[in-house]
Amino acid sequence: MKKRFLTAALLPAFLISVTACGSSGGGEQAKSADGKDKVTLTLNWYPYGEHAPFYLGQKKDIFAKHGIDLTINAGQGSQKTVQATAAGQTDFGWADTPALLSAVGQGMDVKSVGVFLQTTPSSVQFFSDKNINAPADLKGKTIASTAGDALSKTFPAFLKANGLAAGDVTLQNTDPAGKMAAVMSGKTDALLGFASDQGPTMQEKAGKQVSYLKFAEHGLNFYSNGLIASTDTIRNKQDLVKRMVAASSEAWAAAQSDPAAAVAAMAGASQQLPSAKVLTDQFTATLQLLHTDATKSMAPGVNDEADWQKTITVFADSGVITKAEPPASYWDASFAPKG
């Protein structure tokens, strides 16, 4: 979700130091004292509202029911999580689909085993007093973005879909952590980010209403975050992957049924954890992202091949990937949850 598109050779030290309670690849999976498989899941970022279902799944023993003793680790961006998963330093990752597509294009041995956020939260975010009500109102505005990430690369497609040219706005290159500060200080009019992430935090910190122009509501949708695993894990530990996907789907369904319990389950997850109000707003926004028209009657994490193809086309056209491969190159459909 944050910095992406580095090469695998730049894998940072924090990923090398991730404690792998499980064992990726063809080796034996480590066991807990009660015989459950010890499994690590590395998130795309520090815990925020989007991640509530995994913590609820821990608290309600949903993962335990599937024979999994789950450890959840914070991440530092989808691109780094994808690298760690491909390198076998975590059993599973939770990462943004464009980072996965890019990694596969670079030759990394990693695949999706199910995208859960099937409507992109990508958006232009701004304080409501800016009187930006439609994409046309962005003309002449300065927007904080991070050069090279999926948001900045797909933004021209968003502009084009709404009758604007890239030159109609000014993108100010900003570190991911600095985008909110740029808007709150007035250095930029808006930022490119996830509507389920920065907006609620910025609104609380500034005490001002935040509004959004969401890509998906203005002509441009694509897959976002989901579960990934190394191809080695997928090949050699099929039963474990199947149980992890099933447990995750069940946890997301449980969180959808009881959002308050899901948010409450995050207590103590991180020293950087947002307030309960922000977590609630973030998770409420996340719940709007779970399906496309093709999957709205299906369990969380069930994907549609045509939706995958649309996503691949968006990122090929945007230059995120240089060659569009078939969906099966990025996604293993055999672990789709039931229900």
Q: What is the DSSP letter of 28?
A: P
List the single range of 18-27, 35-44, 151-160, 189-198 with lowest mean pLDDT.
18-27
**What are the C-alpha distances in Å from 268 to residues 39, 58, 136, 272?**
20, 13, 42, 9
In a domain? residue 124: no
Sorting pLDDT into bands at 50, 70 and 90, what band is 177? confident
Tell which of 217, 250, 276 closes a domain. 217
pLDDT at 3: 34
Mean per-residue pLDDT, 221-234 = 97
Is there a domain that residue 235 lies in? yes
Render pLDDT for 103-115 as a digit per residue (tens, 0 to 9): 999 999 999 999 9
Residue 116's nearest CA partner among 322, 302, 310 is 302
Structural domain including 150 reads 130-217
- What mean pLDDT is predicted for residues 1-16? 37
In a domain, 3, yes or no: no
The answer to whether residue 57 is domain-embedded is yes
Same domain, 104 and 241: yes
For residue 108, the SS3 value is: coil
Instruction: Judge if 114 and 137 occupy the same domain.
Output: no
Residue 95 has pLDDT above 70, yes or no: yes
- For residue 96, which of 208, 197, 7, 171 has the smallest C-alpha distance? 197
pTM for the structure as a whole: 0.90
Q: Looking at the structure, do residues 212 and 237 belong to the same domain, yes or no?
A: no
Do 104 and 158 share a domain, yes or no?
Answer: no
Is the pLDDT reported for residue 18 higher than 60?
A: no
Residue 11 pLDDT greater than 90, yes or no: no
Could you say which of 159, 186, 217 is where a domain stops?
A: 217
78 falls within a domain: yes
Do 84 and 136 lie in one domain? The reply is no
Q: Compute the Cα dihedral for 55, 61, 63, 64 and give only its sign.
A: positive
In a domain, 125, yes or no: no
pLDDT of residue 20: 44
Q: Identify the CA nearest to 149 among candidates 249, 241, 80.
A: 80
Shared domain for 330 and 252, answered yes or no, is yes
Residue where one domain finishes, among candidates 180, 200, 217: 217
- Are 45 and 167 members of one domain? no
More confident residue, 19 or 86: 86
Average of per-residue pLDDT values in the chain: 92
Q: Provide mean pLDDT across the span 183-187.
A: 97
Q: Please provide the DSSP assignment of 272-321 as one string.
A: TPPPHHHHHHHHHHHGGGS--TTTTTS-TT---HHHHHHHHHHHHHTTS-
Q: Does 84 have pLDDT greater than 50?
A: yes
Residue 198 falls within a domain, yes or no?
Answer: yes
CATH of the domain at 178: 3.40.190.10
Same structural domain, 52 and 94: yes
How confident is residue 320, by pLDDT bands cut at 50, 70 and 90? confident
Which of the residue ranges 144-153, 168-177, 236-245, 322-331 would you say has the lowest mean pLDDT? 144-153
pLDDT digits (tens, 9 = 90+) for 125-142: 999 999 999 999 999 999
Between 158 and 4, where is the model more confident?
Answer: 158
Q: Are residues 241 and 307 in the same domain?
A: yes
Does residue 234 share a domain with residue 195?
no
On the question of pLDDT at 35 being above 50, the answer is: yes
Regarding whether 90 and 26 lie in a shared domain, the answer is yes
Q: How many domains does the chain have?
A: 2
Q: Is residue 1 part of a domain?
A: no
195 and 298 co-located in one domain: no
